[in-house]
Amino acid sequence: MKLYLDTSLVVTALVKEPSSAAIVEWLEQQSSHRFVISDWVVAEFSAALSVKLRSNRLHAEAQERALAKLADLMTSEFECLPVAREHFRQAAAFCNRSFVGLRAGDALHLAIAASSTLKLCTRDRLQAEAGAGLGVLTEFVPSLP
């Protein structure tokens, strides 16, 4: 099975955070699966690192290492899907269901995963629950083992 990793998992795996070890361990346990990200993950990853850098929660050297590691993983371990117009339209449809309470970026991840019949894996419990309610295969990955 292919697993779509959302940005929360990728950031935690590649930037030292309190829950990084648990997330890396979870990823290692999924070694029989193929990992998939999207161009949206790449954009959000860069934005997240920039926020950490500006708020002094990350040094420039750590940012460079994380960006290089992601680039390396994209050539070796991660399949990277393009984001298309239909993904944005599906994300909008997900957001239009006001009872779900999705943010646009989270809805876009769900739309990308759904369009390729992938399981979306995330550290965001609300996103996982919303996705499941919309018929998208999701898995909440807790920070603690």
List the domain boundaries for the chain. Answer: 2-140
Distance between CA atoms of 103 and 56, rounded to whole angstroms?
26
For the stretch 22-32, pLDDT in tens is: 999 999 999 89
For the stretch 67-101, pLDDT in tens is: 999 999 999 999 999 999 999 999 999 999 977 78
CATH topology of domain 2-140: Rossmann fold (3.40.50)
Q: Specify the 3-state DSSP secondary structure of 145.
A: coil
Nearest Cα neighbor of 108 from 132, 88, 134 is: 88
